Amino acid sequence: MKVEDLQKASEQTNDCIIAARELYSELVTLLRYLEKARGWSIGNLFGGSFFKVDRNEALSQVNTSAKYIKRLNRRYQMALGELSVSIKSDSSIAASKVVLDMIVGNTVTEWIVHNDIVKAIKQNRWCLSELDDQIVELEKQEVVFEERVSIILRENKDK
C-alpha cells in the first residue's frame, strides 16, 4: 500500500474507533435504563402510583436510548464497511462486526417489540463485551497502519 492509502486507512480506523466508543457509551446507558426499568417493574408489583410514574419514565428512557443506538450502530457499521473497502480486505473483526450488528438489532428489537427486559439486558452485556474486543482490535490495527507509514516515510527520506 502507498503512504496515502495507509494514512487514509489509519484515519478510517480512527473513525471506526470513535463510532465504536460512542456506540459503547450508549449501550452502557441503555443497560442502566434497562436495569432501572427491570427494578421498577418488580417494585410496581406492590402497587402505588409512585412506582408507576418512575417505571414509565425508565421505559421512555429505554425507548429513546434504543432508537439512538440503532443510529449509532448504522454509523459504526458504515465506518467499518468503508475501512474494509479501503484496505481491500476484511479486517480481523469483519466476522464479529456482522454478529454485533445482529445482536445490537436484537437487543433493541427485544426491548421495543417484545418488551423482554431480561433478555435485552443479557444481549446488551454481550454487545458491550464484543464491542470492547472490536475496539481493542481497531486500536491495534491503527497502530500498525501508523507504523507502516512511518517506516515508508523513513525509507523514502533515506533514499
Q: What is the pTM of this model?
A: 0.78
Q: Which CATH number fits domain 3-154: 1.10.1740, 1.20.120, 2.50.20, 2.115.10?
A: 1.20.120
C-alpha closest to that of 54 among 73, 69, 40: 40
* pLDDT digit string, tens, across residues 76-132: 888 888 887 777 654 554 545 655 666 676 666 666 666 677 878 888 888 888 889
Length of the chain: 159
**Which candidate, 127, 27, 16, places its Cα nearest to that of 77?**
16
